[in-house]
Amino acid sequence: MKGKDFFGNISYENNVNSHSFVSSDSSVGKGFKLLAYGLIADSNSLVIAAFKLNPNGKLRTVNNMFIVSMAAGDLLLPLGSIPERKT
């Protein structure tokens, strides 16, 4: 049966592959992804902690505030993208 998808392209239901590349990952691939996400989260958490806990306030420069805001964004991005990918 023919139908149009979101972009207006004609799709054929019989030829659609329901399997995605994400769900067919091996345990090694899933472990590598978990390690990568954990390493990024740990390093970004350390950047934010160093900025927040500095006793003399020398780290409060515009450049360091920019780096901390990028670290916070890196921590918040998986909260929006990981639930979308059910693996």
SS (H, E, C) the chain: CEEECCCCCEEEHHHCCCCCCCCCCCHHHHHHHHHHHHHHHHHHHHHHHHHHCCCCCCCCCHHHHHHHHHHHHHHHHHHHHCCCCCC
The whole-angstrom separation of Cα 70 and Cα 65 is: 9
User: pLDDT tens, 9-67?
Assistant: 555 555 545 444 455 578 888 889 889 888 989 999 999 999 999 888 888 899 999 99
Phi and psi at residue 10, to the nearest 5°: -80, 130
C-beta neighbour count of 68 within 10 angstroms = 19
Q: Name the residue with higher pLDDT: 84 or 39.
A: 39
The whole-model pTM stands at: 0.59
pLDDT higher than 90, residue 77: no
- Residue 37: the pLDDT is 85
